[in-house]
């Protein structure tokens, strides 16, 4: 427990509001967590899986109306509406507090309040931030104890400071009509009501690590980004780190846990995962940009994860993992999801809890957004620097999207500000899986569209400011696109582990060891500088996906112009100048 006045006062106030039958302080000990797992199994909230095949693994099902993040009910409650900006839903703070407190009032009657002290980042790290989440859900407690660093030591580090993020979660009746996830950036507060699904209730995840942290970063001079962090070790044993942002369905987790192709493995290349989702970055004492992964686990999408697509992610889930909304195999007490293998259970239970024969059913066994929460330590390629309090130095920042034609396989920005421009125009074409319409362009600046906790125009300005502070020590900025297709709609670049070939060129560029060709959009590799050894791809085919088509980019520039209008006078003049520069070069 803690003697911190601000913590005790706030908990007292919340207790009065939600009226729990009892209060349990989470100390992070294995014995306490084990008794909570047992309790969850007794009430049916958890199903204990086959402990020989999946030691310490459990299955959980959410309500069928509560299976994903709800962007339409996610609000930024800043005092001024313009501070939330055009890409967020806004609510006036006092109105929001009143509405949320009315919904939450008395909702813990007959329930237990769990108090979770947690650290985002290694406890005591200069990068780390502390949060306290109150919840009436054992599922939340057990997931937070995987995803963050939970326990008594957090109180020791916090001492009597008031610098911590308040999080209140109330399951209430899991009513989608009264479901709200609200962020109060100026008050360091998050409130979530009427949901029990991970992304809406594990308040350390997107709520704190991105929405609140991006606002803190702007004010305190650091960056909270929706980025993986990856270390690439060359045969000499030197490791260089990159941070990369991709919208969903663009291969982010696969890249984070990349396995080098055989020709690289034989030479001694290794890849190290520091983080798969979030990077907090600060300027270090040496003037370079250093990054940590503030999380302690992976909250991954299960469907499509398999031995071929992501063997490291699959191995990460083999122990100590909570599976949410996947299918259950009654015969051997294991789990299954679409894309895992070709052996769905005959005697199964689907994600809604109904009997399911995967060999004949046309219904899906797992929900398309079903998840696994797994300890990062399980990952076979977890970086030795994972717990380093000072993080890792970033050599390159990579943006990516999913484009069938316009964007080349890889290009380097012309400067830091031009790189910010490249990140601000990131876009993906929708796939059949995402929506009914295929090929619709969705811009998602820096992959932060749903996660930026303040006005995105100010967010762009913060990036430009960070570049000024970093000066010539700033990481180089690149853009990649693994998704160019041929006339039959087939992907041309092999992707997966072979993406290391592109990363190698990127790192060579950072070290001045590779040449490039100047184009209107930036610097593209000479085809012969990308290693095709062991790959069934001709130099001419590679040239075709490095080609920059001026006509397509002229259309793109017009589309960017349109997109930029939504930021009004908040759009930094530097980005306006970058767009004008692009248009001039295309002429």
- List of domains in the chain: 5-44+70-221 (3.40.449.10), 225-295+384-586 (3.90.228.20), 298-378 (2.170.8.10)
Tell me 296's DSSP state.
Answer: S
Distance of CA 209 to the CA centre of its chain: 9
502 sits in which H/E element? helix 499-510
Q: Cβ(280)–Cβ(127) under 8 Å? A: yes
250 is known as an active-site residue: yes
> What CA–CA distance (Å, rounded) separates 454 from 510?
32
User: Which of 170, 172, 207, 250 is labelled catalytic?
Assistant: 250
Per DSSP, which regions of 234-369 are E strands? 239-245, 270-275, 279-283, 289-292, 297-301, 322-324, 327-329, 334-336, 348-349, 355-356
- Specify the 3-state DSSP secondary structure of 123: coil
Between vectors from CA 252 to CA 204 and to CA 479, what angle results, nearest 5°?
115
Would you say 128 and 121 are in contact if contact means Cβ atoms under 8 Å apart? yes
Percent of the chain topping pLDDT 70: 99
Q: What is the DSSP secondary-structure string of 340-363?
A: S-S---SSEE-TTS-EE-TTT-SS
H or E stretch including 89? strand 89-90
Pairing of strands 327-329, 112-120: unpaired
Look at residues 360, 367, 284, 298 and name the one whose alpha carbon lies nearest to residue 326.
367
State both tokens at 520.
């209107």
pLDDT at 435: 40
Helix 93-104 with 5-18: angle, nearest 10 deg: 60
Alpha helices by DSSP H, 181-245 = 198-201, 213-220
Residue segments in the chain with a per-residue pLDDT below the cut of 50: 433-435
Q: What is the pLDDT of residue 333?
A: 98
What residues contact residue 325 under an 8 Å CB cut-off, 6+ apart?
Answer: 60, 61, 62, 67, 351, 366, 367, 369, 370, 371
Residues whose CB is less than 8 angstroms from the CB of residue 219 and which lie 6 or more positions away in sequence, other chains included: none
Residue 292, both tokens: 């940590």
Listed in sequence order, the DSSP H helices in 148-288 are 152-158, 198-201, 213-220, 252-256, 262-267
CA-closest candidate to residue 454, choices 197, 283, 254, 213: 213
Q: In sequence order, what are the residues at sequence separation of 6 or more whose Cβ sits closer than 8 angstroms to the Cβ of residue 224?
A: 209, 210, 213, 214, 216, 217, 278, 279, 280
Contact 372, 306 (CB under 8 A): no
Cβ count near 574 (within 10 Å): 18
């Amino acid at each position: 427990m803690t003697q911190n006045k601000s913590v005790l006062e706030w908990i007292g106030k919340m207790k009065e509001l939600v009226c729990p039958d009892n209060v349990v302080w989470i100390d992070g000990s294995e014995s306490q967590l084990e008794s909570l797992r047992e309790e969850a199994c007794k009430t049916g909230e958890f199903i204990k899986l086959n402990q020989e095949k999946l030691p310490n693994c459990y299955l959980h099902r959410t309500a069928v109306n509560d299976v994903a993040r709800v962007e339409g009910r996610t609000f930024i409650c800043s005092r001024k509406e313009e501070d939330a900006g055009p890409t967020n839903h806004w609510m006036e703070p006092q109105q929001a507090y009143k509405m949320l407190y009315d919904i939450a009032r008395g909702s813990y009657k007959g329930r237990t309040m769990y108090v979770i002290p947690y650290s985002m980042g290694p406890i005591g790290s200069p990068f780390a931030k502390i949060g306290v989440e109150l919840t009436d859900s054992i599922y939340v407690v057990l997931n937070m104890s995987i995803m963050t660093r939970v326990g008594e030591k957090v109180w020791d580090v916090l001492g009597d400071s008031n610098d911590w993020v308040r999080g209140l979660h109330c399951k209430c009746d899991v009513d989608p009509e009264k479901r709200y996830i609200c962020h109060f950036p100026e008050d360091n507060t998050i409130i979530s009501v009427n949901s029990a699904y991970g992304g809406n209730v594990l308040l350390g995840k997107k709520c704190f690590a991105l929405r609140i942290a991006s606002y803190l970063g702007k004010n305190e001079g650091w960056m909270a980004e929706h980025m993986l962090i990856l270390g690439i070790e060359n045969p000499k044993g030197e490791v260089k780190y990159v941070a990369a942002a991709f919208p969903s369905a663009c291969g982010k987790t696969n890249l984070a846990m990349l396995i080098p192709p055989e020709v690289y493995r034989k030479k001694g290349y290794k890849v190290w995962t520091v983080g798969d989702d979030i990077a907090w970055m600060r300027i270090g004492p040496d003037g370079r940009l250093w990054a940590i992964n503030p999380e302690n686990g992976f909250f991954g999408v299960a469907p499509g994860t398999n031995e071929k697509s992501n063997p490291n992610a699959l191995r990460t889930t083999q122990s100590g993992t909570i599976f949410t909304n996947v299918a259950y195999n009654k015969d051997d007490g294991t789990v299954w999801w679409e894309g895992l293998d070709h052996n769905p259970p005959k005697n199964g239970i689907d994600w809604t809890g109904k009997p399911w024969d995967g060999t004949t059913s046309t219904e899906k066994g797992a929900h398309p957004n079903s998840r696994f929460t797994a300890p990062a330590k399980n990952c076979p390629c977890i970086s030795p620097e994972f717990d380093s309090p000072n993080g890792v130095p970033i050599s390159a920042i990579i943006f990516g999207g999913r484009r069938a034609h316009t964007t080349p396989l890889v290009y380097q920005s012309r400067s830091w500000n031009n790189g910010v421009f490249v990140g601000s125009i990131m876009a993906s074409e929708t796939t059949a899986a995402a929506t009914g319409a295929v090929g619709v362009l969705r811009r998602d600046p820096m992959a932060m569209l749903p996660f930026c906790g303040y006005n995105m125009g100010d967010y762009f300005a913060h990036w430009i400011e960070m570049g000024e502070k970093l000066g010539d020590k700033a990481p180089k900025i690149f853009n990649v696109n693994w998704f160019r297709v041929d006339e039959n709609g087939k992907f041309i670049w092999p992707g997966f582990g072979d993406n290391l070939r592109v990363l190698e060129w990127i790192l060579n560029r950072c070290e001045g060891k590779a040449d490039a060709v100047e184009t209107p959009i930036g610097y593209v590799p000479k085809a012969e500088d990308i290693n095709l050894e062991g790959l069934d791809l001709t130099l001419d085919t590679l040239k075709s996906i490095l080609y920059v088509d001026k006509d397509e980019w002229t259309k793109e520039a017009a589309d960017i112009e349109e997109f930029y209008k939504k930021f009004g006078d908040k759009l930094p003049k530097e980005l306006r100048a970058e767009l004008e520069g692009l248009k001039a070069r295309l002429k």
